[in-house]
Amino acid sequence: MRRYFGFRIAGALCAMVLAVCGVGQPAQAKWREASSEHFVIYANESEGNLRRFAESLEHFHAALKFLLSTEPDTPSPSNRLTIYQVDNRRKVRKLYGGDNRYVSGFYLPRAEGSLAIVPHGIVSGRKISQSMAVLLHEYTHHFLTAASTAPPVEWLSEGAAEFWAAASFEPDGTINVGRAPMHRAYELLSLPKVPIEELLDSSLYEANRGRNYDSFYGRSWLLYHYLTFSKERSGQLREYMLRVAQGTASLEAGQEVFGDLEQLEDELSDYLMRRRILSFQLKPGTLKIGEITIRELREGEAAIMPTRIVSKRGVNEEIAQEAVADAREVAAEYPDDSAVLAELSEAELDSGHIDKALAAANKAIEQDGTNPEGYARKIYALFAKADEETDAAATYTEARKTIVALNRLENDHPVPLIYYYRLYVEQGEAPSEVAVQGIRRAVSLAPFDLGLRMTVGQLMLEKGLKDEARGYLAPVAYNPHGGEMAAAARQLIEYERYVPSAPVIEYTPPEGDDS
């Protein structure tokens, strides 16, 4: 699934219109990697700015954990969110593809490694650029999905993301959460208002929405913020979430919990016009984060980075041929760099050269047996090779050995868990219990991958485990951006007469501060 950053355009996923500062790259900047507990950032950026960027993101994660009293499992090194920073928005749009001139960054949730691509200039000196809100919005989705904290209701999902995206970072280390999203001011004050009933009922909203942009995202933020801080409505947000998770339709749950919706509408109108609203202010020392390491990339790693970004984003046939030509050129200059060889393997496979992909992956492992990318590339190449063979037994045996090796190297890497299961499926065999448990574990490690959820949901149906299937399928079926996959999941749920449900967040926000 692909996510734009921000609001909806023409019924697509989400796209944000932001005036991102056109900050030029520092003259002496070099490609560097910032590595932390939850993020890996690659940027042609100064060390100071890169460290501030990583620290801001880790503090943001810590704030989510602290205020929501929940946290996803710590990701394995290869399953951290990887962020690639490119020169400007023009390059972001080129990588994204299409003709949407408003896209200023995008996020791709994948079991093999989620990534975000953002423009240069998110952090400059002590200033956090406006485009940071875009990334924070999407990381909130990433966090809440991984933590399985809320039922899949569109206004709730987007309202929470907007609530957190307005966070600000002070020079002394203070983080403010829940401030007014100024980029939504025009939307809230001037564009067509989305009524409460339509916020709560996505199908009603879709039936009545016009072709032009409206206040859906702003109104979702307003309702979420009000229910979070209103003393008179304390506990109602959690009760609403609980009822939806138990199977009550969103609009019905809202009527039961919130009471007279016209009264709530009036309260929201008054709330919007307040001169001051509450927010959370987290002082320095409140949030603890782990170590952040910064290193300058090796010459080969830096040289292959543009090709790596293109390949990780995903390629078509034409771009694949361009990427493999570039990768071969870099590999000729740096033939012993394991990172270069791993990327060469990916480019060769994307362009249809399976044997060359396998050879490059083997050489990457020979050069550095601790680099997970080499093993992952070899697994992909072996499965592609087996798919073309009449008798693939020997190839699948080699794939099994590689899967085991990667699993031993990184026990919670989702790829070997997924492909161990696929070993059985591709050979027409019933998956072993170990394989089934493995792919279920993969979902817990990468719950944001809807395709993986769909696979396991169908597997649970085949086993007659309806409750388990419901847990996997419901987040797909009721994901507002799930498209055809969501429709297919809904058909499965309706056919089996399930009641959609999802775990509910334990959310008791502390008292806020005036802002």
Q: Per residue in 285-324, pLDDT tens?
A: 899 999 999 999 999 999 999 999 999 999 999 999 999 9
340-393 tens-digit pLDDT: 999 999 999 999 999 999 999 999 999 999 999 999 999 999 999 999 999 999
Instruction: Please list, in sequence order, all residues whose beta carbon lies within 8 angstroms of the beta carbon of residue 504, skipping any fewer than 6 positions away.
Output: 149, 150, 151, 238, 241, 242, 245
CATH of 3-290, one of 1.10.10, 1.10.390, 2.60.40, 1.10.3470: 1.10.390
115 with 41: CB under 8 angstroms? no
328 with 351: CB under 8 angstroms? no
55 with 38: CB under 8 angstroms? no
Task: Say how far apart CA 319 and CA 183 lie, in whole Å.
Answer: 35
Q: What's the whole-number average pLDDT of the chain?
A: 86
Task: Grade residue 129 by pLDDT with cuts at 50, 70 and 90.
Answer: low
Question: Alpha helix (H) ranges present in 13-80?
Answer: 47-68
User: Within 13 A of 169's CA, how many CA atoms are on the CB side?
Assistant: 26
**Range(s) of the chain covered by CATH 1.10.390:** 3-290
76 with 411: CB under 8 angstroms? yes
Question: Which pLDDT value is given to residue 415?
Answer: 97
Look at residues 249, 205, 224 and name the one whose alpha carbon lies nearest to residue 162: 224
User: What angle, rounded to 10 degrees, do the helices at 154-165 and 132-147 form?
Assistant: 130
**Range(s) of the chain covered by CATH 1.25.40.10:** 297-448
Question: Which pLDDT value is given to residue 319?
Answer: 94
Question: Which pLDDT value is given to residue 200?
Answer: 95
Task: Say how far apart CA 437 and CA 418 lie, in whole Å.
Answer: 10
The proportion of the chain whose per-residue pLDDT surpasses 90, expressed as a percent, equals 60
Check pLDDT > 50 for residue 232: yes
Question: Which pLDDT value is given to residue 406?
Answer: 98
Question: Which pLDDT value is given to residue 173?
Answer: 82
HEC sequence for 391-405: CCHHHHHHHHHHHHH
Show contacts of 334-337: CB within 8 Å, 24+ apart: 334/299, 334/300, 334/303, 334/304, 336/367, 337/298, 337/300, 337/301, 337/304, 337/367
Check pLDDT > 70 for residue 82: yes
Lowest mean pLDDT among 6-20, 47-61, 252-266, 392-406: 6-20
Task: Say how far apart CA 321 and CA 348 lie, in whole Å.
Answer: 9
Q: What is the DSSP letter of 45?
A: E
- Mean pLDDT highest for which of 104-118, 185-199, 202-216, 396-410? 396-410
Task: Grade residue 51 by pLDDT with cuts at 50, 70 and 90.
Answer: very high
In degrees to the nearest 10, what's the CA dihedral of 247, 250, 252, 254?
A: 120
Note the pTM of the prediction, 2 decimals.
0.86
| Higher pLDDT, residue 124 or 298 | 298
Question: Which pLDDT value is given to residue 150?
Answer: 66
| Higher pLDDT, residue 207 or 42 | 42
Task: Grade residue 149 by pLDDT with cuts at 50, 70 and 90.
Answer: low
Look at residues 102, 71, 447, 117 and name the one whose alpha carbon lies nearest to residue 310: 117
Question: Which pLDDT value is given to residue 89?
Answer: 85
Q: What is the DSSP letter of 41?
A: E
Domain 297-448: CATH superfamily, name plus number? Tetratricopeptide repeat domain (1.25.40.10)
Look up tokens 């109104």; give the residue. Answer: 219
Question: Which pLDDT value is given to residue 130?
Answer: 58
Check pLDDT > 90 for residue 504: no
